[in-house]
Every structure is written in structure tokens, then in C-alpha cells.
Chain A
Amino acid sequence: MSIVQFEYVSKKYYREAALDNVSFELPSGKVIGLIGPNGSGKSTTLKLMAGLIRASKGKVTVCDKPACRRISEEVAFLSELDAFYSFFTVQETINFYHEQYKDFDMEKAKAMLNFMQLKPDARVKDLSKGNRGRLKIVLSLSRQAKLILMDEPLSGLDPIVRDSIIKGLVSFINLEKQTVIMTTHEVSEIEPLLDMVIAIRDGHVLKIEEIDNIREKYNISLVEWMKKVFV
């Protein structure tokens, strides 16, 4: 069953086309990487799935519904930017999300805070960048959303934080009920987590491929494959 469908989708910012007549389908229950150079249309694709922006042309379907602002009830979106109230404590932020989203699982949030070693009474504005990155993961994975979208979850974070985020993801994701789609530049680090990749460049989808296939067919890693695809 597919969780995301793009049918002839274009997105223009003024005259500039960020996505150009793109069609594809993504299956559920997988971890999918969205890869491509800067400015290729990755974030635009993700935001269209999250219902944060609207397609100029074509149709985006997520969880069998048209992707509009209300899709956020079923889709968790982890932004590349920080989207916290800085005067909240960690616990207050968790409580706020609990009020906002019906599918927010308080027990899971508690377990994840523990796993990430975040102090509930710390103020968000006093958190290090790494701990803000960890908190974002806690917030998006604590929702029992069918689709979890992550925009650059690892970018700008040190190796220890990246490690805890990757482990947190593996430990807390429920792939029987959830699908993860993430954009990333840390390709070799994230490869063992991925089932599939979508390669995007200049607003076009170049390829969608299963990771095992890349290794089985060509005997190369994802990074080597990217070098070939993006040439």
C-alpha cells in the first residue's frame, strides 16, 4: 500500500520551478531517504507531503487524503529549524505537544526523554544545539503518526548526538504502523537505516531504488551510487 502519491506535481516559487511535473509513489512501513544536492527540491517535496505548502499543479495524496494543512493530524513533521517556545521547559514543551496532537503518546515521550538523557525541567532556551536536536526527535517520534517526515535531522550535530538520534530512531520507530521519510546529506551514516532512496535533482526525481538492490545489483554503497546518479 502506498502512503504518499505525487501525480504530475509542480511547485513554483514566483517563476522559479522547485519541482517540475513529478510523479511517484512511496510504500508504507519503510524508512525512506530523500537525497539530492542543495536546492534540488528535497525540502519542497517534504513540505508538500506535510501539507505546509500547496502544489502549483498536480495532486499530492498522503494517507489516502489530499495533503493540506489538516494532514498534520496524521503526519509528524520535523523541521530543519527550531520550532520551540524558548520560555518553555522540556516538560512544558512535551505537555504542549500532548495538547496539540491527539496521537501524542505521553509514555513514549517519557521513555524517549530518558533514553536521550534530557532533563524535563531544563528550559528550552538553555539547551545546547545537540539537546535541541534530541528534543525534536522525541517530539516527532512520540506521536503515533502514520507518516513521520524529517528535514535534515542530523545536520550540524556532533557525532555523539547523531549517534543517539540514530539509535533513538531505531529503538522507537514502529514500522508496522509508521513510515519515515527524511532528507539528509549524511548519506553514509544514514544508509544502514534506509530501505529506499529517492534521488532528486533540479526539481526532477531521477531514481527511486531499494538500498539492498543498489548493493546487490551494482555492488556499491549508496554514496558511490549517488556519484553515478548525480553525474
Chain B
Amino acid sequence: MTESFNETQPIYLQLVQKVIMQIVRGDLKAGEKLPSVRESGTQFKVNPNTVQRAYADLERLTVVETRRGLGTFVTEDIVRLNQLREQLKHEKIDTFIQDMKEMGFNSNEIKAGLYEHLGDKS
């Protein structure tokens, strides 16, 4: 499977985001092993150094843990994972609200719009 990268952000950052999305979506569960650096490299056709850098960043974010000789695993810290999910939610909502305000919608219009939109579909 090939997945493409956008043109503007560093590839290691895009890899970080991909893994975070997989975790938030539940494709990667708490305590699950991530593909090895080489497996990921081959899958995405990127340099192993880039994957290494992405995994190091994820570790710094305490989203994954590297166990010596075993590989890299999603953290089992459920609190951290929930926090990550919330954090991502807020980020997306922030961008949405900012876009809406730039177009001149006020808070009530945004709320009403959301209510209507979700009400229609749920």
C-alpha cells in the first residue's frame, strides 16, 4: 500500500500524525507493537532514518515506548491516550472555528449550523 505525503510538511511529522491517527481511531491499540522501522520504511517508501526520527518524536510525546531489543509499542497509559484523543479533538475544533470566524460567522451561527448539520445526519 502506498500512501502519499503532502508537499509542505516534513515527512517525519506526517508519519507522526499518521501513527497518532491510527492510535486515536483504535487501529493501533494500547500496548500494541508498531511495525519495525524497516517495515514502516518499506511500506511508506521512506528512509529508515526518517521513521526513526518519527518514532523518537512519538516517544517524546509519551505516546509510544521503545523497549530495548523488542521494538516500539503504543503506551498502555490509558489516561495519556484519552488525553491525546481530547487534544486532537480540540485542535480540529479550533481550526474549524477559526475558519468559520474568518468567514464572518458568529458563535450562535456556528452552533446552529453544527446542530442542523449533525441533526440531519444522525
Contacts and interface: CB of A to CB of B under 8 A. Distances in A.
Contact of B45 (A173, A192, A220): A192
B48 A173 contact: yes
A191 B10 CA distance: 11
Interface stretch (B1-9, B78-86, B98-106, B110-118): B1-9
Contacts of B41: 170-171
A193 interface: yes
Contacts of B47: 31, 170, 175, 192-195
A155 to B, nearest CB: 18
B87 interface: no
Given A216-B10, A221-B7, A221-B8, A192 B46 contact: yes
A219 interface: yes
Size class of the contact patch on chain A: 20 to 34
Contacts, number: 55
Interface string A193-230: 11100000000000000011001100111001000000
A171 B10 CA distance: 22
A189 to B, nearest CB: 9
B10 to A, nearest CB: 4
Name A's interface SS: helix
Interface residues of B, number: 18
A30 B50 CA distance: 10
A167 B1 CA distance: 12
Interface string B2-26: 0001011111100000000000000
Interface string A163-195: 100110011010100000000000000011111
A27 to B, nearest CB: 11
B49 interface: yes
Nearest to B11: A192
A65 B7 CA distance: 39
A171 B47 CA distance: 9
B33 interface: no
A120 interface: no
Contacts of A171: 38, 41-42
A66 interface: no
Given A212-B53, A220-B8, 4 more contacts: A167-B45, A192-B46, A195-B49, A221-B8
9 contacts: A30-B49, A167-B42, A170-B38, A170-B46, A171-B38, A192-B50, A215-B8, A219-B9, A221-B8
